[in-house]
Chain A
Amino acid sequence: DTAVSQTPKYLVTQMGNDKSIKCEQNLGHDTMYWYKQDSKKFLKIMFSYNNKELIINETVPNRFSPKSPDKAHLNLHINSLELGDSAVYFCASSQDGAGGALNIQYFGAGTRLSVL
């Protein structure tokens, strides 16, 4: 039973399209995240949510809009896709956002987005 699952695994689309990635965790965690991993493998935080509330928005273009319908789900919608959006997007969760063991991150398998 997958702890953090995200769909789809692969997404190939044209520039200018709108797409969504879905994420669900069954760990009972309060905090969820979206990360972007670029071609240099650098994992960078985009958003974090705690109990459905947006806590961190790391200077991400407003074409990216996260939505958390409940604390087990965090979706990412991207409008007007650009070539530079091509990357692997990871969803993660943690017990909460505080320090120590509570902040250990559990990641999904990633969504590889290719914008043509």
Chain B
Amino acid sequence: SQKIEQNSEALNIQEGKTATLTCNYTNYSPAYLQWYRQDPGRGPVFLLLIRENEKEKRKERLKVTFDTTLKQSLFHITASQPADSATYLCALHEGGFKTIFGAGTRLFVKA
């Protein structure tokens, strides 16, 4: 079955820099991929969705890429701010009514 791998180590960056988070999947390429943000003590919040025929998607300071050859999606936050500190989850729709989530990567942005 499909597995999602996200970097389990936290990512520490300085304010103003670009944060890049990685999501790798193991099997078939999904039709689309989602990214969510989760703050401590809260439920995940949807950020962006990218389809397999889209190489890149942007929303304000966020950018997602999708490379079906590498079986990888990259999530970028430009001009990062301390308020961007959170855990970011990658998710794939496995078909039917099932979505699987990666374990997430924790991002810390230092002022």
Contacts and interface: CB of A to CB of B under 8 A. Distances in A.
Contact of A40 (B51, B89, B98, B103): B103
B51 A100 contact: yes
A56 B98 contact: yes
Contact of A110 (B43, B51, B96, B98): B43
A103 to B, nearest CB: 5
Contacts of B36: 105
B99 interface: yes
B44 interface: yes
B93 interface: yes
Interface residues of B, number: 25
Contacts of B46: 104-106
A56 B97 contact: yes
B31 interface: yes
Main secondary structure on chain B at its contact with chain A?
strand
Contacts of A50: 97
Contacts of B87: 41
B45 A107 contact: yes
B97 A90 contact: no
Interface in A1-54: 4, 31, 33, 35, 40-45, 48, 50
B45 A97 contact: no
Contacts of B22: none
B57 to A, nearest CB: 12
A90 B89 CA distance: 15
A66 interface: no
Contact of B97 (A41, A42, A48, A100): A48
Contact of A43 (B31, B41, B101): B101
In the A-B complex, the 10 residue pairs with the smallest Cβ-Cβ separation, listed nearest first, are A107-B43, A97-B97, A48-B97, A43-B101, A55-B97, A42-B103, A104-B46, A107-B44, A103-B93, A90-B43
Given A35-B101, A107-B44, 4 more contacts: A45-B98, A45-B99, A48-B97, A99-B31
